[in-house]
Amino acid sequence: MSTAPFASRLRPAHPCPGPLSIALVGSTDVADVICEAERIAAPLTAAGHRVERLFSPREAWGSGAAPAADLVVVLGGDGSILRTARWLAYRQVPVLGVNLGTLGFLADVPRTEAAEALADILAGRFRLVEHLMFECEIIRAGRRLLLELGLNEASILAGPPFSMIEIELFVDDELATTYRADGLIVSTPVGSTAHNLSAGGPIVRKDIDAFVFTPLNPHTLSNRTVVDSADRAYELLVPRPNAGSACVVDGRAVAALLPGDRIRVRRAAPRFTLVETGRHGYYRTLREKLGWGGGLRASEPGTTGGR
């Protein structure tokens, strides 16, 4: 399979070169997704753009061919974007996330601003921000069991009977440390505001190429989060997993773990590409989604707190 991304015709600072192919995708389990899609599609179709509607229940997401479009508009929340990134696989195209969910770190365009955001894109007033993706490979008895492409994180979870497990971390074939914990999260910067943040890990700006290693309830106080370069090769060895131990990629349990399984995490060739129009900056998103503003009031973007 080719790892070359699909060549989109979208170019920042340039109006769209004639009619574009735009795919509207979303889960039919999300309320109002069809209604919002029709509202967005109407002016695009009237302007001569080709609009494809691809909707399915969550459990059937990605069962068909991924769209070969210039732009994919995801209607939903961050879960919908993660499923879309997995669906696009090694043919990533620019994605605009319209938030019909709750937090929306990736799907950060409110539905009320979707029309304006698309108008900005068609006029060339946008930027393409590429994000690190990873491959998670499980090796069992010297053979590849599976290979998964991910965007947020790969996690090793102890599972039932919920006793701690040991996880050995190798960096470029060198033993770095052994975690004794309830699990370990290997997160990308995009995923740093997800499970990693809930576990006490740091927020890492999402356009940085790095992996974040956050242990879950480690037995040793010296086991802290580590941030390291995405250019290195990482391998996790689980000598004695619990009966319910599992490898989880972007919230999906992909494999139960057996003694001696090796989990390899490395940078993937494709890059997940978000379209940003400048209406919502990175730190504004953090302030509004996490209530991270301190003394600042999110309703007043120009407030400087007197400094």
Classify residue 159 by its DSSP letter.
-
Choosing from 32, 70, 78, 173, which is the catalytic residue? 78
Helix ranges restricted to H, 180-226: 195-198
The secondary structure element, H or E, covering residue 231 is none
Residue 63 lies in a domain: yes
Q: What is the structure's pLDDT at 66?
A: 84
Number of domains in the chain: 2
Give the whole-angstrom CA distance, residue 265 versus residue 232: 9
Do residues 209 and 115 share a domain?
no
Residue 174 lies in a domain: yes
Q: What is the structure's pLDDT at 294?
A: 63
Do residues 147 and 249 share a domain?
yes
Identify the CATH number of the domain in which residue 141 sits.
2.60.200.30
State phi, psi for 249 to the nearest 5 degrees.
-120, 120
Q: Are 80 and 27 in contact (CB under 8 A)?
A: yes
| Residue-by-residue pLDDT tens, the chain, 307 positions | 333 344 567 778 778 778 999 999 999 998 889 999 999 999 999 999 999 999 999 888 777 778 889 999 999 999 999 999 999 999 999 999 999 977 778 888 999 999 999 999 999 999 999 999 999 999 999 999 999 999 999 999 999 999 999 999 999 999 999 999 999 999 999 999 999 999 999 999 988 999 999 999 998 877 889 999 999 999 999 999 999 999 999 999 999 999 999 999 999 999 999 999 876 667 777 777 777 766 555 444 544 443 3
Q: Which residues, listed in sequence order, are joined to residue 139 by a DSSP beta bridge?
A: 144, 262
Do residues 80 and 98 share a domain?
yes
Identify the CATH number of the domain in which residue 112 sits.
3.40.50.10330
Q: Are 113 and 123 in contact (CB under 8 A)?
A: no
| Cα distances (angstroms) measured from residue 19 to each of 12, 119, 156, 274 | 16, 13, 45, 20
Domain residues for 45? 21-125
Q: Are 207 and 131 in contact (CB under 8 A)?
A: yes
Residue 131, token pair as written in the block: 């994000």
Cα angle for residues 245, 85, 16 (degrees, 5° grid): 170
End-to-end CA distance of the chain: 53
Residue 70 known to be catalytic: no
Do residues 113 and 146 share a domain?
no
